[in-house]
Amino acid sequence: MATGVVAQKGFKTTTTGLKYKFLFQGKGKKPQLNDVITLGIIARNSKDSIIDNTYDKARPLRFPLKGAAFKGALEEGFLLMGEGDSAVFLVKSDSLYDAKKGNPRPSFVAAGSMVQFTVKLDKVQSFEAFKKERHEHYLSQKEKDDKAITAYLNAKGLKSTKTASGLHCVTLTEGAGITPLKGNNVVIHYTAKLLDGEKKFDSSYDKKIPFDFSLGWGLVIKGVDEGIANMKEGEKRLLLIPSYLAYGEKGQKDIVPADAPVLYEVELLKVTNDK
């Protein structure tokens, strides 16, 4: 981390050019590279307009702390903070955005300006502690999701086949065609709903266009990939998908809540070998 700090208009400036000002500074645990940090960030342009706000997201921002991508980067500021601290950082927009690296400067950020980040560092964990926490959350969520799915099946009078991963499958219409293999192109119709309340959030039927993709390459959520893998052409199936095989802890914007099991009604229309 750069040393040598000088005062400038209420901010201090590191020798790499990062300007910062603490709003609160305590004696909390300081992060090291590769630690997992949880924080909140509000970003503003030079006109004080908010351009990003992690507090609007379903989950707090959390990631392993890596080295700075350029001199005066925000990552340098994180290393100055301790758990519970809040600070304001000013980062040069010309360094923050680089069109050559696929990160063009947006029109609402002026060239040569400073982007202001107000940051609150909530938690610092070793990567090992983070992995343990994630595993405990997975085990807890797996149990919750299975109870919710089982309750839904009982309420509807449905019997399912449960896979080792926790996916529940209910055959609605038998198929007589071939079963796809990994890498095959599959064409499906589907309707996706929240299990809680059955609110529809996506449907190829509504779009009047079937959806096609290569099976087994992570192009769809894990529960759909797995659920289609042993279907036959012409089969219609209900997939009751636990959250960790669907949209997980993050959910999907304002559509699917965090940790929400989902229901997909899928019809396998066609299988072709495009290998």
Q: Is the pLDDT of residue 205 over 60?
A: yes
- For the chain, give the percent of residues with pLDDT over 90: 87
- With 60 as the cut, is the pLDDT of residue 253 above it? yes
Q: Predicted confidence band at 74 (pLDDT cuts at 50, 70, 90)?
A: very high
> Quick one: 186 exposed, middle or buried, by C-beta within 10 A (0-12, 13-18, 19+)?
buried
The pLDDT of residue 83: 97
Residues pairing with 7 in the sheet = 12
| Helix (H) and strand (E) counts in the chain | 5, 15
3-state secondary structure of 93: helix
CATH architecture designation of domain 140-272:
Roll (3.10)
| CATH architecture designation of domain 6-125 | Roll (3.10)
Indicate if the pLDDT at residue 249 is higher than 80. Answer: yes
User: Does pTM top 0.85 for this prediction?
Assistant: no
Q: What is the mean pLDDT of residues 144-163?
A: 97
Task: Tell me the per-residue pLDDT of 32-57, one tens digit each, with 9 for 90 and over.
Answer: 999 999 999 999 999 999 999 999 87
Residues of the chain with CATH 3.10.50.40: 6-125, 140-272
